[in-house]
Amino acid sequence: MLKTNYQTPMAFSSSTSVLFLVLISAMLSSFIFPSAANLYQHIDLTWGDGRAKILNNGDLLTLSLDKASGSGFKSKNEYLFGKIDMQLKLVPENSAGTVTAYYLSSQGPTHDEIDFEFLGNLSGDPYILHTNVFSQGKGNREQQFYLWFDPTADFHTYSILWNPQRIIFSVDGTPIREFKNSESIGVPYPKNQPMRIYSSLWNADDWATRGGLVKTDWTQAPFTASYRNFNANACTWTSGASSCTSNSPSSTASSSSGWLTEELDSTNQGRLKWVQKNYMIYNYCTDTKRFPQGLPPECAST
């Protein structure tokens, strides 16, 4: 199923109206951050011994990986619900064995987590975008996708919408995955633990590329991923309280809290189905070999 060249949406789409919307969202992706945050103010570089850098007066962040170490960062704030956007440009050329992880996570053995992971590949072969949702320490909810563009050629916007009803993963404004709150049928949902944003670039050549068959080529190091335009329209968590329940005008969610009840309208439901039909390469909800006793209960409603 791997392809040697990235395909344009026209090669896959059966709906010109959906294609038009996807193309428009991609063109607008670089214009949706009129007040993007200064990275110095919102990000802490956490590991890598100088391999993580904030540049251009806070407008750009880079993570690097070499044979000695990878690198990473985290947000200064914790959040309990929000819409988180970041633009990434992934490791170019031969990125096999590398993983660029960008995710929300709490701490502890029963942690919650919402994952984007980008699995590197040989030059010319597409990245695999790996997604997962953990609640109360339990994950195993993987969905994987190819992208309809080369994510190493330019910056693209990767977004997580997390509200009490659903989690929506989006790329350039196009939804690729929705995970709904299914507590009514006994499925834990991340809603009580505040999470920080984390990102790391690290070596995972024991599993990342073709199950570990393709190893990292260290002659290509250092490997570098770039980040810009971080934006968190979210409920910050400070001293055990959420900014969304505060009357303080400094609330990060005060300017626009529509995301707290946001859901996919019919247009975006169509875009989601288009992506999943044409670009999804793994879905735990269809893996009957993995779940011989029956698929997870939330799969019945997806």
Catalytic residue among 78, 117, 178, 298: 117
State yes or no: is 78 an active-site residue: no
298 catalytic residue (yes or no): no
Q: CA 157 → CA 26, 32, 89, 170, 213, distances in Å? A: 9, 9, 9, 8, 30
User: Distances from the Cα of 227 to the Cαs of 29, 36, 64, 157, 274, in angstroms?
Assistant: 14, 12, 12, 10, 27
Catalytic residue of the set 78, 113, 178, 298: 113
Sign of CA dihedral 255, 89, 121, 218: negative
Q: What are 200's two structure tokens?
A: 């790391």
SS3 readout for the chain: CCCCCCCCHHHCCCCHHHHHHHHHHHHHHHHCCCCCCCHHHHEEEEECCCCEEEEHHHCEEEEEECCCCCEEEEECCEEEEEEEEEEEECCCCCCCCEEEEEEEECCCCCCCEEEEEEECCCCCCCCEEEEEEEECCECCCCEEECCCCCCCCCCEEEEEEECCCEEEEEECCEEEEEEECCHHHCCCCCCCCCEEEEEEEEECCCCCCHHHCCCCCHHHCCEEEEEEEEEEEEEEEECCEEHHHCCCCCCCCCCCCHHHHCCCCHHHHHHHHHHHHHHEEEEHHHCCCCCCCCCCHHHHHC
Question: What residues are annotated to the active site?
Answer: 113, 117
